[in-house]
Structure 1
Amino acid sequence: MKYEWKNQDEYKIQSDQSSQEKCLIEILTIEEFRQQYPDIFRRTFVSNSFNHIRFCKADWLKKAVTGTFAIPPKEDPSQTKICFGYCLMEDKIIFIDDSNYVKSILDEMQSYQLVDISSASLCLFEFMEYLLKDDMIFLQKYEERLTQLEEKLLKGESDDFDFQILSSRKDLSALSAYYEQLSDMGETLQQSAAERREERDRLLFGLYADKAGRLYSTVQMLKEYSMQLREMHQAQVDMRQNEIMKFLTIVTTIFMPLSLIAGWYGMNFINMPELSFPYGYIIICLICLLIIVIEIWIFRIKKWFK
């Protein structure tokens, strides 16, 4: 079916009417595409469903550029991706989609007055550009989320930190792969445009590849930021464990000589003179107290209590 491009916020599917100033846009199901373009279908898809699609790609064929999109949802990038395909020909662009996602994107694009769909390659460029229109703002908000997580970490409010940082790293890994794949797609489409000697298309897809590359670099920076937060959290855990071990070491050190004295006089030999001495118990207690005072004084000099 052909998609009619209008200048208002609505679309209409038509069968045989086209415009001379607009490229031909078709939206087919994967089964319709398989029946109409069997040769291209075999080069792009391995089954009659989108379940096998895991990444974005562009395959440069003899008379067309085909590929797939696997878009992670902004709400939860690590969840199931939105998948569909496309086929760029000289006179038209075909989207292969079993859902209404492509239609909804094209409908939203119609509200933008400066969208150029005078050629199939420009239509694909505008479509790909629209997919990234708010991504930098999205990544900035994600950075703010990590900053808030860092503030909670510094305040000691990190009960579920491990879960949050793991979720963030999964999301960033999915976004990193997505933008890297889009950058590769842009380079492939740029090479295709250069082969066709379409200088404007070559320049536009080159700019798109650079934009996707910048988004990829931003995600890599956020991944490093999340790694630093994880290391900071681990350092805090290690410090708490060190404090506990330090406390146990001090207690053990204080009572070690006392344990020696208790074990020594617990032997109860008959000829031990201290056993029959009337003030032996008091003297031993004073000796233990003196040992404790001396140990505490030494610990304070060594600054073990800080």
Structure 2
Amino acid sequence: MIYQVDNQKLKVKIQDIQDDHMYIAMMSLDELKTCYREYHITERSLLRCEETSMLNQNIIIPHRQYYYGLINLINARDVFVKKDSLAFFIFKNLFLVVVIDDEDHHISEVFQSSSDYVLEKGVSITRLVYYFLSELISRDYQYIEDLQEEIEDLESHDSEEESIHFTNQLRQLSKELLLLRNYYDNLVIIGEDLQMNHHHIFEDDDMRYFEIFTRRIERLSNNVQMLRELLSQAYEAHQSKLDYKLNKTMQFFTVVTTVFMPLTLIAGWYGMNFKNMPELSSPYGYLSVILVSVSVVVLLMLWFKKKKFL
């Protein structure tokens, strides 16, 4: 579908496109294959749509007459689900969106809403591109807030009984945040490249829109980095709990070992049964050893308590 969006939104055909009007269009990759020459799109750009559609990256390439870009969208709420993907071509008076994968119809919704919105704000190719790209990431702020709440909720349920589950969840979230950070970094590159305005496709007065878009992506990237730091702090706090528990266990065994060392010495000493040992023939020998052993235990326990080992 192709819309002329000068004063009102009018559906037109390819042959109706004129240089003195502004247009926004959306089609599938199969549709583009049948008419790419009419848009003066090179065969190499068409092949890029097929070659790069399987890659998990976002790219933008300036050509002499247009920009070519590819975006693999990530759902910040679940980064491991199948991604929507699209290619786009930016001419001086035409913004063409090529849908490669859009199972949830998110790209179609963004296309319709952005083309309607630009009529209210004044039409230019820069604003068409800006509103479309901004709409693509409009939900991400809420998704990132949801991720923050998930991390905080995970911290509140950090317990010894759920240690393994907690650690697995941390690892999963860490992978998600790393993917999100790379995703936004790629979008920043797209925004910066658009600001360079190769071949003067965009109006100079409107270049601030791409600067605003780039700053928004940078804020999202910074928010993701903040969540990664929050996740790191949660892991360190969890590890500190485990270390404290281990230290208490080791302290207990140290006390037990220290108490039994002198008792083992006494038992070994008086268990040698030499002929001339006076305690062997003494009627109080057995009782004396018991009293000495008990005294050693009591003294050691008092000493440990004084040193706050118990």
Same fold (TM over 0.5): yes
Deviation at 1:126, TM superposition (A): 1.1
Partner of 1:268: 273
The 3 A distance-change label for structure 1 pair 44 and 68 is: farther
Write the distance in 1 (CA, Å) between the matches of 2:43 and 2:306.
80
1:281 to 275, 278, 286: 286
| Cα RMSD, aligned residues only | 3.3
Unaligned runs of 5+ in 2: none
Deviation of the 1:122 alpha carbon:
2.4
Matching residue of 1:70: 72
Q: Could you tell me how far 1:152 is from its partner in structure 2?
A: 2.4
Contact 1:176–1:220 (CA<8 Å) still a contact in 2?
yes
Match of 2:126 in 1: 121
Instruction: Summarize the Cα distance change of 1:199–1:292 in structure 2 as closer, same or farther, 3 Å threshold.
Output: same
Q: Distance in 1 between matches of 2:14 and 2:35?
A: 17
Q: 1:48 aligns with which of 50, 56, 61?
A: 50
How far does residue 167 in structure 1 lie from its aligned partner after superposition?
Answer: 1.4
- Report matched runs for 1:1-306 at 5 Å: 1-2=1-2, 22-29=22-29, 32-33=32-33, 36=36, 40-43=42-45, 45-46=47-48, 48=50, 51-100=53-102, 101=105, 102-109=107-114, 112=117, 118-153=123-158, 158-159=162-163, 160-192=165-197, 195-196=200-201, 198-305=203-310
Of 136-145 and 238-247, more deviation after overlay is shown by 136-145
Aligned length: 303
Q: Which amino acid aligns with 1:285?
A: I
What is the letter of the counterpart of residue 29 of structure 1?
L
The gaps in structure 1 that reach 5 residues or longer are none
Deviation track 1:23-42 (CA, whole Å, cap 9, x = no partner) reads 14131315734872597452
Percent identity of equivalent pairs: 27
Partners of 1:23 and 1:117 within 8 A in 2: no
The answer to whether the 8 Å contact 1:71/1:83 transfers is yes
Whole-Å separation in 2 of the counterparts to 1:246 and 1:129: 58
1:286 shift after superposition: 0.8
**Structure that is richer in helix per residue:** 2
Give the 3 Å change call, closer, same or farther, for CA 69–34 of structure 1 in structure 2. farther
TM-score (norm 1): 0.85
* TM-score, length basis structure 2: 0.84
Between stretches 170-179 and 135-144, larger displacement belongs to 135-144
